[in-house]
Homo-oligomer: A and B are copies of this chain.
Amino acid sequence: MIEEKGILFILSGPSGVGKGTVRKEVFKRKTELRYSISMTTREKRPGEVDGVDYFYKTNDEFEKLIEQGKLLEYAKFVNNYYGTPKDYVLETLDRGHDVFLEIEVQGAMQVKQNFPEGVFIFLFPPSLEELKNRITNRGTEEEDVILNRLKEARNEIEMMDAYDYVVVNDDVDKAVDKIQSIIQSEHCKRERIAAQYKKLLEDELS
């Protein structure tokens, strides 16, 4: 039997590209992927469960984890920390399960530094126009906020070079098909499995 470690897949891309929608559709389909549960210092909302929606931590606990290098990536939004716990991800991979992260571009770059063997997938907008529409339709933002977001999105697109794959989100189903293909084909990569196959053969001959 081939015993394989899990693979860490990171889905990222500019704000407004539709990462959340694509991630939800990936998990709606039949999949053996594990979703990485984030850690946060924000208060638990009614109905949320610790270890299901988030791992809830105090500010002190979170900052200690940062110091100890226990986070694959983290960021602060509106005075609350959000991050990806390293141990949880590594243990899940060791047990042979693939882990799927959906995070912002800045966070993905941190993961790339801390875990370069991850497989990085960049979700690309079908067009800048479309991206602008999505950013605009989100809420009732002012013009200059929108322009700022668009500028940021363009900067984020420049970071595409750090990724392994680029998937256009022109159609959610097609994008998810491509992500599923990437997951399956990564498990066929020769450098991941050749050594084990050769060993299998030697065992049979001994």
Contacts and interface: CB of A to CB of B under 8 A. Distances in A.
B189 A164 contact: yes
Contacts of A128: 201, 204-205
A79 interface: no
Interface stretch (A61-69, A88-96, A192-200): A192-200
Interface string A160-188: 11011111100000000110111011101
Give the 7 A-B CB pairs with smallest separation, nearest first.
A181-B184, A181-B181, A185-B185, A165-B188, A182-B185, A181-B185, A128-B204
A124 B184 CA distance: 16
Interface residues of A, number: 36
Contacts of A182: 181, 185, 188
A193 B181 contact: no
What is the predominant secondary structure among interface residues of chain A facing chain B? helix
B190 A164 contact: yes
Counting every copy of the chain, the complex holds 2
A165 B177 CA distance: 20
A171 to B, nearest CB: 14
A181 B161 CA distance: 23
17 contacts: A127-B200, A128-B205, A160-B194, A163-B194, A164-B189, A165-B188, A166-B189, A166-B190, A166-B193, A166-B194, A177-B184, A181-B184, A181-B185, A181-B188, A184-B185, A185-B185, A185-B186
A146 interface: no
A129 interface: yes
Contact of A165 (B129, B165, B167, B190): B190
